[in-house]
Structure 1
Amino acid sequence: MERFLKKKGNQGSSSKTPELVELDDLPLDPADRKPISTYNVNQGDEIRRTYLLRGPCQPSSVAFPYRMIGNDSRHFPVTWCTNFKGWLEYSIKNDRVYFLHCYLFKDQVKNLQEAIISEGFNGWNRQDKVQRHQGEFNSLHNKAFKMGEDLLNQDQLIQIFVDKKSEKEKSN
């Protein structure tokens, strides 16, 4: 009978779950972030909420480096922070932009552009590519954005639900 009760997989190795992280120690620069899936699964929503409450990394008083794109010398256009407010992030470390909500919900919204999420984007002459990634109302990017809004509103909804209950129901 014991042969039917044995666990499958690596029985000799102990599968260690990742340790909990201090939320204040999460990296600010998007280039320094590791995938959400590598954190302790019980802390995933806390980590997402922390990043959402911080908002996207959008440094404004930085001397953005120039590089040649075609025949033009270009740098990160700061106006993108206004045009794509709330989700576009700039990495000082590697001079690229990232998409906050797509990073946070990559594992939950399938088929997001992995290369742009993990490697970033630096085609400063191609704002149209960022707009295309954002897409229409029901795009994958907007689904990830909506998941972020829902996560932030989740606490409010639970509190409203509890407040409507009578004292007897609350104690039960």
Structure 2
Amino acid sequence: MEKFLERGPPNASTSQPSKRIEVCPRKYPDDPAFQPKITEYPPNDRDEVRRYYLQKGPSQPKTVDFKQVEMSGLMCKFNPSWFKEFGSWLEYSEHDGGAYCLYCYLFNESKKSGDTFITEGFKSWNKKDRLLRHIGGPNSFHNQAMKKCDALENKKIFNSNLAY
């Protein structure tokens, strides 16, 4: 996506041509372990960041050797079949071997850390029920974030339809 900023000298008349200054597109990290908190982006840029990640979709590497960890005497690792079950939001970091929630990341504007699925990466592979617990009920933070993602995508579609 290219952005242009037009500037002219102060008090310039409209008949003078303005300068076009190209601003390079921002690079957003693909691996969720490297993504800065959404609050670290300027407030006016956050929807652009959100749209980028929603368009890209969750980071779900298919050909990675998922890291094994010992839990209660058993060797456990991320189960790639969870991408099918939780595919719209579940992300996996190849860097730290943790699972993250795309929706909660995009709408976590709290200054404090908190949810493992946003800041640290979930790694308790022997506790799949925690994925369901993360989703929670209809008014959970996760479900509210999912509704905000849907609204943002619908707003984009609505605004693009207005251009015709």
Q: Which TM class, normalised by the smaller chain length?
A: 0.7 to 0.9
Report the structure, 1 or 2, having the larger strand content.
Answer: 2
2:98 equivalent in structure 1: 96
> Alignment partner of 2:119: what SS?
helix
Residues in 2 aligned to 1:137 and 1:70: alpha-carbon distance in whole angstroms: 33
1:76 to 75, 78, 89: 78
Determine if the alignment matches structure 1 residue 28 to structure 2 residue 30. yes
Q: Please say if residues 56 and 88 of structure 1, whose CA atoms lie closer than 8 Å, have aligned partners that are also in contact.
A: yes
Partner AA of 1:87 in structure 2: W
> How many percent identity over aligned positions?
37
Report the structure, 1 or 2, having the larger helix content.
Answer: 1
Partner AA of 1:86 in structure 2: S
> Alignment partner of 1:63: what SS?
coil
After superposition, the Cα gap between the structure-2 partners of 1:79 and 1:161, relative to the gap in structure 1 and judged at 3 Å, is: same
Task: Count matched residues.
Answer: 142
Residues in 1 aligned to 2:160 and 2:55: alpha-carbon distance in whole angstroms: 18
1:71 is displaced (CA, Å) by 1.4
Taking only aligned residues, the RMSD between alpha carbons, in angstroms, comes to 2.3
Residues in 2 aligned to 1:131 and 1:67: alpha-carbon distance in whole angstroms: 21
Q: Please, what TM-score do these two structures have when normalized by structure 1?
A: 0.75
1:42 is displaced (CA, Å) by 1.6
Q: Please say if residues 74 and 124 of structure 1, whose CA atoms lie closer than 8 Å, have aligned partners that are also in contact.
A: yes
After the TM superposition, list the runs of 4 or more consecutive aligned residues in structure 1 that deviate by more than 6 angstroms: none
Partner AA of 1:42 in structure 2: N
Runs of 5+ consecutive residues of structure 2 not aligned to the other structure: 1-22
1:77-116 Cα shifts (integer Å, max 9, x gaps) = 11111110110100000000000010010117x9994343
Partner AA of 2:45 in structure 1: Q
Q: Please say if residues 112 and 141 of structure 1, whose CA atoms lie closer than 8 Å, have aligned partners that are also in contact.
A: no
Partner AA of 1:58 in structure 2: Q
Residues in 2 aligned to 1:159 and 1:78: alpha-carbon distance in whole angstroms: 35
Runs of 5+ consecutive residues of structure 1 not aligned to the other structure: 1-19, 164-172
Residues in 2 aligned to 1:35 and 1:21: alpha-carbon distance in whole angstroms: 21
Q: Please say if residues 49 and 151 of structure 1, whose CA atoms lie closer than 8 Å, have aligned partners that are also in contact.
A: yes
Residues in 2 aligned to 1:89 and 1:128: alpha-carbon distance in whole angstroms: 17
Determine if the alignment matches structure 1 residue 137 to structure 2 residue 134. no
Residues in 1 aligned to 2:24 and 2:114: alpha-carbon distance in whole angstroms: 27
